[in-house]
Every structure is written in C-alpha cells, then in structure tokens.
Amino acid sequence: MAEAAAGLEWPLPAALCPVANFCFYSSMYLSSLFLAALAVRRYLGAARPMVLQGPRRPGRVLAVSAVIWLLACGHCSVVFVAEFSRRGEEG
C-alpha cells in the first residue's frame, strides 16, 4: 500500500522490497495450497468415507501443514535469491 500511495515508487528501505514481495506471494501460495488440501480431504470424505472414519491423527495434520509451509516458503524464497544476485551484479 505504501508503494501505491507513493505513486508506484518504493518509499521504504530497499531491503524491505523482497520481504514485502515474499510475504505477498507466500500468503497467496499458502491460501491456495491449504484450500487444495481441504478440498482433497472433503473429496476423500465423500468418495471413501470408510477410509477416513478411523481416529483422527493431529500429527498428520501438523505434518501436512509443515510440508505446505515449507513448499510455499521455499518456492517464494526465489525472490530473495533473485534480488541479492541482481544486487551482486550491479555492485
């Protein structure tokens, strides 16, 4: 919002630019991946209700959540690599 309010010029310190991009894109990836995981769970509940009828295991939920976080944040970490490799070429 600060960039839009400043006429599409980045008014904050340059180090915050990749952080802002990382937060923006990782939140989009995280919400999409968690919605996909929820859709898979609901599909399996409708298609194979007997398989999911057993006791719930919070460890599996935590493991899937951790994998989703690692996948999304690992994918968005390219923002930092691209930003700092670009700075290395300029300097």
Q: For residue range 20-74, list pLDDT tens digits in order.
A: 888 888 999 999 999 999 999 899 889 988 877 777 789 999 999 999 999 999 9
What is the C-alpha end-to-end distance of the chain, expressed in Å?
Answer: 29
Does some domain include residue 51?
no
What pLDDT score does 29 carry? 94
Ramachandran assignment for 73, one of left (phi > 0), alpha (psi -120 to 50 degrees), beta (any other):
alpha
- Residue 7 in domain: no
Helix axes 78-90, 16-47, angle to 10 degrees: 160
CA 75 to each of CA 6, 40, 70, 87: distance values in angstroms, whole numbers, following the listed order: 29, 22, 8, 20
Beta carbons within 10 angstroms of residue 71's beta carbon: 13
Domain that holds residue 40: 18-46+56-90
Number of domains within the chain: 1
State if pTM tops 0.85. Answer: no
**Residue 8 domain-assigned?**
no
